[in-house]
C-alpha cells in the first residue's frame, strides 16, 4: 500500500507544473493536491453511482439503494483523505508530526465508515425482520435487540481500530474489559441466562405469538408476547402469566397450535349400557358432531369403540375444531347434545352400579361344658 501511494505521489508530482514547486511552495502544492483529490473523489463517486444504479435499479427492494446512500460520504472522504495524505507528505514535516497527522486522517475516515456501518446494519436488520421466514432469528420483535447489539459491536470495533491507528497498546484495555465482563456475568447471571434463553427461543422457534401452549408445570394459555427476558401467556381466565425465558428454555412444552395446522382435536368420552345397538350409537354420535357448526368437516369426525368398562361400553367421539381456544365450548356443546340425543333415541347411559352379596353368618359354635373349659 505504501509503495502504491509513493508511486502515485511521484506521478502526481510529474503532472504538477514546475513553477508550482518553485514559486508557490509546499503549502500550495498541498492545496492543489487537496483540490485534485476532492475532484477525484467526486468522479469516483459518480462513476460508482452510475454503475451501481443500473444494478440496483433491476431489483425490487430498496435495501441496496439505502446501502448505496450509506456508502456515499465514507467513500468520498476516503478518496479525499488519500489525496490529502499524499499532500501532507509534500510538506516534509518531522516524522512524529507527519505520523500524528496521518493518524488523525485515518481516524476521520474510520468515523465516517463506522457511521455508515451503523446505518447499513439498521437497514439490513429491518429488511430481514420484514421478510423473515417462519422460525427465523430476526423478527419484528427481536429486530431492536439485534440492531442494538450490532451497533455496540460496530462501535467497539471502530474504537479498537481508532486506538490501534494511533499506535496505542490495547492489550491492557482488553484485559480490563475481560475482568469487567466476568464481574458483570457473575452479578447478573440470572438476567444473562434469560437473555440467552430468549435468543435461543427465537432461533429454535418452539412456539410463536398466538400459539396455545401447555407447560409441564400445568400452565396453559395463548402466547401474547415473546420478550428477551420473559414469555407471557394469557390463560382462559384472562390472567397474564409471565414466565422467565430460562424456565421456558428448560421446560417441556406442548404446543397445541403446532404441527401442520392450528386445528385442535377434542375427545368426548361416553359409556352406553351393555346390550345397546353399537352401530346405532356410533351413528348418533356422528350426527351430533355433524350438527355442530364449530366442528371441522375435514378431518372428518370419527367414533372409536374403546373398551368394555365395568358398567358400560366405552366410546370416544374424536373431532377437530379450528383453533385450541374453542376446545372448552365445543366440548360442552357436544356433551350436552350427546346426552339429549341418547335420551331421544332411547340409548341408556348407565351409572356405576355395584352388587353387594352378604353371606349368611356361620352358626354359633356349641358352648363347651364348664368342666371342659377348665
Task: In whole angstroms, give the CA distance from residue 127 to residue 61.
Answer: 9
Residues 173 and 242 in one domain: yes
Residues 280 and 306 in one domain: yes
Kindly tell me if the per-residue pLDDT of 371 is higher than 80.
no
Out of 71-75, 130-134, 325-329, 335-339, pick the least confident: 130-134
pLDDT at 64: 66
Residue count of the chain, please give it.
374
pLDDT at 140: 62
Residues 20 and 44 in one domain: yes
Angle formed by the axes of helices 2-15 and 72-89, nearest 10°: 70
Residue at 98 is within a domain: yes
pLDDT at 19: 40
Task: In whole angstroms, give the CA distance from residue 198 to residue 75.
Answer: 38
The mean pLDDT of 257-277, rounded to a whole number, is: 87
Domain boundary among 259, 286, 319: 259
Out of 4-18, 35-49, 220-234, 237-251, pick the least confident: 4-18
Residues 61 and 40 in one domain: yes
Task: In whole angstroms, give the CA distance from residue 211 to residue 257.
Answer: 5
pLDDT at 296: 92
pLDDT tens digits, residue range 83-109?
777 767 666 667 777 777 777 888 888
Residue at 111 is within a domain: yes
Task: In whole angstroms, give the CA distance from residue 18 to residue 14.
Answer: 8
Banded pLDDT at 13 (limits 50, 70, 90)? low
pLDDT at 225: 85
Banded pLDDT at 42 (limits 50, 70, 90)? confident
Kindly tell me if the per-residue pLDDT of 124 is higher than 60.
yes
pLDDT at 264: 87
Banded pLDDT at 324 (limits 50, 70, 90)? confident
pLDDT at 87: 67
**Higher pLDDT residue, 42 or 302?**
302
**For the chain, what is the domain count?**
3
Average pLDDT over all residues of the chain: 76
Kindly tell me if the per-residue pLDDT of 370 is higher than 60.
no
The mean pLDDT of 238-261, rounded to a whole number, is: 86
pLDDT at 156: 83
Q: Phi-psi category of 25—alpha, beta or left, where left has phi over 0 and alpha has psi -120 to 50? A: left
Q: What is the DSSP string of 105-149?
A: HHHHHHHHHHHHHHHHHHHHHHHHHHTPPTT-S--TTTHHHHHHH
Residues 14 and 152 in one domain: yes
Residues 34 and 106 in one domain: yes
Residues 109 and 177 in one domain: no
pLDDT at 211: 87
pLDDT at 135: 45
Domain that holds residue 221: 169-259
Residue at 205 is within a domain: yes
Joined together, the cell numbers standing for residue 211 give 400459539
Residues 190 and 80 in one domain: no
Q: Are 103 and 165 in contact (CB under 8 A)?
A: yes
Residue at 310 is within a domain: yes
Residue at 359 is within a domain: no
66 contacts: CB under 8 Å, gap ≥ 6: 119, 120, 123
The answer, as to whether pTM is greater than 0.75, is no
Residues 173 and 319 in one domain: no
Kindly tell me if the per-residue pLDDT of 183 is higher than 90.
no
Domain boundary among 167, 198, 220: 167
Task: In whole angstroms, give the CA distance from residue 325 to residue 86.
Answer: 72
pLDDT at 149: 77
Task: In whole angstroms, give the CA distance from residue 305 to residue 317.
Answer: 9
Kindly tell me if the per-residue pLDDT of 78 is higher than 60.
yes
Looking up residue 317, the CATH number of its domain turns out to be 3.30.70.100
pLDDT tens digits, residue range 154-169?
888 888 888 877 776 6
Banded pLDDT at 362 (limits 50, 70, 90)? low
Residue at 161 is within a domain: yes
Q: What is the DSSP string of 165-225?
A: HTT---HHHHHHHHHHHHHHHHHTHHHHHHHHHHHHHHHH-S--TT-EEEETTS-EEEEEE
Domain boundary among 259, 294, 319: 259
Looking up residue 229, the CATH number of its domain turns out to be 2.30.30.60
Kindly tell me if the per-residue pLDDT of 228 is higher than 90.
no
Residues 75 and 159 in one domain: yes
pLDDT at 134: 45
pLDDT at 177: 65
The mean pLDDT of 218-237, rounded to a whole number, is: 86
Residue at 284 is within a domain: yes
**Higher pLDDT residue, 207 or 13?**
207
Residue at 272 is within a domain: yes
Residues 197 and 160 in one domain: no
Residues 235 and 285 in one domain: no
Amino acid at each position: 500500500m505504501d509503495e502504491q501511494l509513493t508511486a502515485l505521489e511521484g506521478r502526481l508530482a510529474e503532472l504538477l507544473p514546475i513553477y508550482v514547486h518553485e514559486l508557490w511552495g509546499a503549502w500550495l502544492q498541498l492545496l492543489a493536491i487537496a483540490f485534485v483529490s476532492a475532484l477525484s473523489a467526486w468522479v469516483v463517486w459518480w462513476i460508482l453511482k452510475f454503475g451501481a444504479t443500473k444494478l440496483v435499479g433491476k431489483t425490487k427492494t430498496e435495501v441496496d439503494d439505502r446501502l448505496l446512500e450509506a456508502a456515499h460520504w465514507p467513500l468520498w472522504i476516503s478518496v479525499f483523505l488519500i489525496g490529502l495524505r499524499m499532500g501532507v507528505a509534500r510538506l516534509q514535516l518531522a516524522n512524529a508530526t507527519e505520523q500524528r497527522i496521518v493518524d488523525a486522517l485515518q481516524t476521520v475516515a474510520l468515523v465516517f465508515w463506522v457511521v455508515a456501518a451503523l446505518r447499513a446494519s439498521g437497514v439490513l436488520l429491518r429488511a430481514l425482520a420484514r421478510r423473515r421466514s417462519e422460525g427465523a432469528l430476526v423478527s419484528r420483535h427481536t429486530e431492536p435487540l439485534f440492531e442494538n447489539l450490532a451497533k455496540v459491536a460496530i462501535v467497539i470495533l471502530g474504537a479498537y481500530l481508532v486506538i490501534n491507528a494511533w499506535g496505542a497498546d490495547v492489550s491492557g484495555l482488553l484485559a480490563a474489559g475481560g475482568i469487567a465482563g466476568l464481574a458483570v456475568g457473575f452479578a447478573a447471571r440470572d438476567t444473562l441466562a434469560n437473555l440467552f434463553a430468549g435468543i435461543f427461543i427465537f432461533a429454535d422457534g418452539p412456539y410463536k405469538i398466538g400459539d396455545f401452549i401447555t407447560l409441564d408445570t400445568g400452565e396453559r394459555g395463548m402466547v401474547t408476547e415473546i420478550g428477551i427476558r420473559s414469555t407471557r401467556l394469557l390463560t382462559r381466565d384472562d390472567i397474564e402469566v409471565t414466565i422467565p425465558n430460562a424456565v421456558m428454555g428448560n421446560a417441556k412444552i406442548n404446543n397445541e397450535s403446532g404441527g401442520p395446522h392450528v386445528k385442535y382435536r377434542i375427545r368426548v368420552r361416553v359409556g352406553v349400557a351393555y346390550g345397546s345397538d353399537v352401530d346405532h350409537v356410533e351413528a348418533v354420535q356422528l350426527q351430533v358432531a355433524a350438527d355442530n357448526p364449530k366442528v371441522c368437516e375435514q378431518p372428518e369426525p370419527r367414533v372409536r369403540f374403546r373398551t368394555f368398562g365395568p358398567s358400560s361400553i366405552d366410546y370416544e367421539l374424536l373431532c377437530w375444531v379450528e383453533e385450541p381456544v374453542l376446545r372448552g365450548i365445543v366440548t360442552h356443546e357436544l356433551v350436552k347434545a350427546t346426552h339429549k340425543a341418547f335420551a331421544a333415541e332411547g340409548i341408556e347411559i348407565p351409572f356405576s352400579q355395584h352388587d353387594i352379596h352378604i353371606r349368611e353368618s356361620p352358626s354359633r359354635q356349641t358352648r363347651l361344658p364348664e368342666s371342659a373349659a377348665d
